[in-house]
């Protein structure tokens, strides 16, 4: 195996190896602008046309396409042909938060040095998104990251619609997300990295790491990740002068009291990748370390990923293939997760002593970290997650054709969908929303639902020609189930795709319906018995005439059956359907 890391010793001292980056030209205190990055990659692809190609996909909210630099040793730039040739795909995403720009600059140097040194691997194709949040990268200041040590100027976290794009991977409110998903599902990477900078406590490490949550991904992937890949990343990075530590997700104000693993739901990039059995990483450099060291550590980490993927290419490919096969056959699917606080480990942690002193702002005690008092000690680490909500998959979901955004996102994610060729009455299981919580303030443009409770009802439902049938026997099953089951944490329902069904469309005038209700109670002894039982069970709620009349209305055929009914059906029997 070629040892790419030999390049590290001199790459930072000899910035003019080929095409100097703006970061290098600025004495390593400035980050690249969008225009500079694209121009740089265009020049690289022109200089090395047989091994580098700059592609564009879709559009973004800023009106620019999303660029993808593909580095291919053998000059093959067709993803289908690369899959047939058994090449691994390594996808690097940069600038999702443009104020966290280390990956932008590190990837530029990485691409140049691999091409200049003829160091591209034979069995791994490297794909780089130069800057994902193009919108935010144009909104450059020196102040939006109040806790961050450089660079001199940088972009803004929100895009031009003020979305945090690392919360947008399921709901896809932005065109950026749709373009990214087109890239992701076209290239189908086995390994995905999304580069970031941290916030939070102060400590000695320059680089922290969030891998795909081991308990959440397919067990085959989880075993390789925890037993081989992560330990190798830790040991190799330590030998290169940048020790790693798990992302410092403290259980209290300071990390001395312990940290927990991070559960990335599908709204996040790595949580989205997990739906497709892609191993994801979110490296987070420490915001207070010098910018040049943050870029250097990111560069070295990206090179380390390449070393490991090159070495384990066959294993990684086979693991992905097996995981996809098992997902297509999987019956039970977790929809939400909880941390098991009874299972605790300990890890060595290199921090700084936390102290308190009087604030010059308020006069009250304030926290600070004394960098003259470094320490190394064991701290508690909780990283065992267990399913808190699970569901058994149906044979198929049936989706009314009116929900075109749902269908478009399914197709974008390589989900095979079929359409009914004729109007059809189907015996299906329907969900009614029995209870839920809704946020009182918007989050990323939505009043999110949570804690969804469901009533299940078997009904005969009329569907129409053109309505969609999605069989749950696909490698994309996790994406299908975790978006279409309303109780899933990042379901389309929880992101308000179906809020119209929560509203009643018709009603009644009491003085008219009084006579109708009286007739119903005379003719239907079962309805009369239900009313009497409800009055006995809830006397306070049923003490008014209006409450009793409303009960009769809602238990009669006059009340619309679609109110609070989730519109996507679960087909539980494997029956023959006329489909195209």
Q: Decide: helix, strand or coil at residue 556.
A: coil
> Which two three-digit tokens encode residue 449?
């639902």
One digit per residue, pLDDT tens: the chain, 580 residues? 444 444 444 444 443 345 899 999 999 999 999 999 999 999 999 999 999 999 999 999 999 999 999 999 999 999 999 999 999 999 999 999 999 999 999 999 999 999 999 999 999 999 999 999 999 999 999 999 999 999 999 999 999 999 999 999 999 999 999 999 999 999 999 999 999 999 899 999 999 999 999 999 999 999 999 999 999 999 999 999 999 999 999 999 999 999 999 999 999 999 999 999 999 999 999 999 999 999 999 999 999 999 999 999 999 999 999 999 999 999 999 999 999 999 999 999 999 999 999 999 999 999 999 999 999 999 999 999 999 999 999 999 999 999 999 999 999 999 999 999 999 999 999 999 999 999 999 999 999 999 999 999 999 999 999 999 999 999 999 999 999 999 999 999 999 999 999 999 999 999 999 999 999 999 999 999 999 999 999 999 999 999 999 999 999 999 999 999 999 999 999 988 888 8
> Which two three-digit tokens encode residue 518?
């009286």
Distance CA 454, CA 570 (A): 13
pLDDT reported for residue 7:
47
- Taking phi over 0 as left and psi of -120 to 50 as alpha, with beta for the rest, 295 belongs to alpha
Pairing of strands 207-211, 244-246: parallel
pLDDT reported for residue 280:
98
Contact 145, 287 (CB under 8 A): yes
Strands in 365-382's sheet, in edge-to-edge order, are 259-260, 365-382, 345-358
pLDDT reported for residue 431:
98
Alpha carbon distance, N-terminus to C-terminus of the chain: 49
Sign of CA dihedral 157, 135, 22, 18: positive
Measure the CA angle with vertex 146, ends 143 and 152; round to 5°: 45
What is the maximum alpha-carbon separation in the chain?
93
pLDDT reported for residue 5:
44
Contact 127, 187 (CB under 8 A): yes
Of 456, 347, 372, 471, give the one whose Cα is nearest residue 419: 471
Distance CA 239, CA 422 (A): 65
Query: Residue 413 to residues 88, 193, 301, 331: CA-CA distances in angstroms?
Result: 19, 19, 29, 20
Distance CA 262, CA 504 (A): 40
Which parts of 22-109 are beta strand (E)? 52-57, 66-71, 88-93
Residue 17 has a CB neighbour count (10 Å cut-off) of 15
pLDDT reported for residue 16:
39
Question: 429: Cβ–Cβ under 8 A, 6 or more apart, which residues?
Answer: 394, 456, 457, 458, 459, 569, 570, 571, 572
Give pTM, 2 decimals: 0.93
DSSP letter string over 148-191? Answer: ----SSB--SB-TT--BGGG-TTT--SHHHHHHHHHHHHH--SE
Note if the bond before 151 is cis, omega within 30 degrees.
yes
pLDDT reported for residue 18:
53
Residue boundaries of the structural domains of the chain: 52-324, 345-386, 392-504+563-571, 510-554
Distance CA 579, CA 51 (A): 43
Residue 443 has a CB neighbour count (10 Å cut-off) of 12
Contact 398, 568 (CB under 8 A): yes
Q: Decide: helix, strand or coil at residue 407.
A: helix
Residue 124 has a CB neighbour count (10 Å cut-off) of 24
Query: Residue 463 to residues 186, 284, 573: CA-CA distances in angstroms?
Result: 32, 48, 16
Query: Residue 2 to residues 5, 48, 287, 306: CA-CA distances in angstroms?
Result: 9, 21, 33, 11
Of 168, 187, 44, give the one whose Cα is nearest residue 110: 44
For domain 52-324, the question of CATH label 3.40.50.720 is answered with no
Distance CA 505, CA 500 (A): 9
Contact 169, 483 (CB under 8 A): no
Q: Quote the DSSP letter at residue 293.
A: H
Angle between the N-to-C axes of helices 510-523 and 545-554, in degrees from 0 to 180, rounded to the nearest 10: 60
């Amino acid at each position: 195996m070629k040892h790419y890391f030999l390049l590290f010793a001199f790459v930072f001292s000899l910035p003019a190896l080929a095409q100097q980056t703006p970061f290098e030209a600025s004495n390593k205190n400035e980050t690249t602008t969008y225009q500079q990055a694209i121009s740089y990659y265009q020049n690289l692809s022109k200089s090395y046309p047989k091994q580098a190609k700059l592609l564009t996909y879709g559009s973004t909210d800023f009106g620019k396409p999303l660029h993808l630099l593909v580095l291919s040793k053998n000059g093959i730039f067709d993803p289908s042909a690369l899959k047939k040739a058994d090449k691994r795909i390594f996808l690097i995403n940069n600038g999702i938060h443009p104020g966290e720009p280390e990956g932008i600059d590190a990837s530029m140097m990485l691409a140049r040095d691999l091409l200049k040194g003829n160091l591209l691997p034979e069995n791994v194709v490297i794909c780089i998104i130069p800057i994902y949040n193009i919108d935010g990268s144009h909104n450059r200041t020196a102040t939006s990251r109040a806790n961050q040590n450089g660079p001199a100027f940088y972009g803004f976290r929100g895009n031009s619609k003020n979305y945090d794009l690392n919360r947008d991977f399921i709901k896809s409110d932005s065109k950026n997300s749709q373009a990214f998903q087109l890239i992701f599902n076209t290239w189908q990477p086995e390994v995905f990295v999304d580069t970031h900078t941290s916030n939070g406590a102060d400590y000695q490490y320059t680089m922290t790491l969030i891998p795909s949550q081991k308990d959440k991904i397919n067990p085959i992937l989880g075993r390789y990740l925890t037993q081989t890949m992560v330990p190798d990343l830790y040991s190799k990075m330590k030998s290169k002068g940048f020790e790693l530590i798990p992302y410092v997700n403290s259980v209290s104000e300071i990390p001395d009291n312990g940290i927990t693993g991070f559960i990335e739901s599908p709204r996040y990039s790595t949580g989205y990748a997990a739906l497709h059995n892609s191993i994801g990483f979110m490296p987070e450099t420490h915001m207070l370390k010098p910018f040049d060291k943050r870029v250097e550590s990111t560069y070295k980490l990206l090179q380390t990923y390449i070393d490991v993927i090159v070495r384990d290419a066959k294993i990684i490919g086979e693991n992905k293939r097996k995981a996809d096969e098992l997902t297509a056959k999987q019956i039970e699917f977790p929809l939400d997760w909880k941390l098991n606080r009874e299972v605790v480990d300990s890890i060595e942690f290199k921090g700084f002593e936390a102290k308190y002193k009087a604030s010059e702002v308020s006069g009250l005690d304030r926290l600070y970290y004394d960098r003259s008092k470094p320490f190394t000690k064991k701290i508690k680490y909780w990283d065992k997650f267990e399913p808190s909500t699970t569901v058994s998959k149906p044979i198929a979901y049936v989706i009314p054709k009116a929900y075109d955004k749902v269908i478009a996102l399914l197709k974008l994610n390589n989900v095979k969908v079929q359409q009914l060729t004729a109007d059809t009455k189907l015996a299906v299981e329907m969900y009614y929303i029995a209870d839920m919580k809704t946020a009182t303030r918007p989050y990323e443009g939505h009043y999110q639902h949570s804690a969804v409770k469901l009533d299940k009802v078997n009904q005969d439902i009329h569907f129409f020609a053109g309505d969609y049938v999605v069989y749950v026997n696909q490698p994309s099953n996790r994406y299908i189930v975790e978006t279409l089951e309303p109780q899933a944490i990042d379901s389309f329902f929880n992101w308000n795709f179906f809020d119209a069904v929560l509203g009643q469309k018709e009603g009644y005038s009491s003085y008219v319906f009084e006579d109708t209700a009286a007739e119903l109670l005379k003719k239907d002894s079962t309805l009369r018995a239900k009313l009497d039982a409800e009055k006995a069970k809830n006397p306070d709620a049923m003490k008014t005439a209006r409450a009793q009349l409303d009960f009769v209305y809602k238990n009669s055929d006059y009340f619309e059956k679609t109110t609070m009914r989730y519109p996507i059906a679960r087909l539980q029997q494997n029956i023959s359907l006329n489909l195209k």
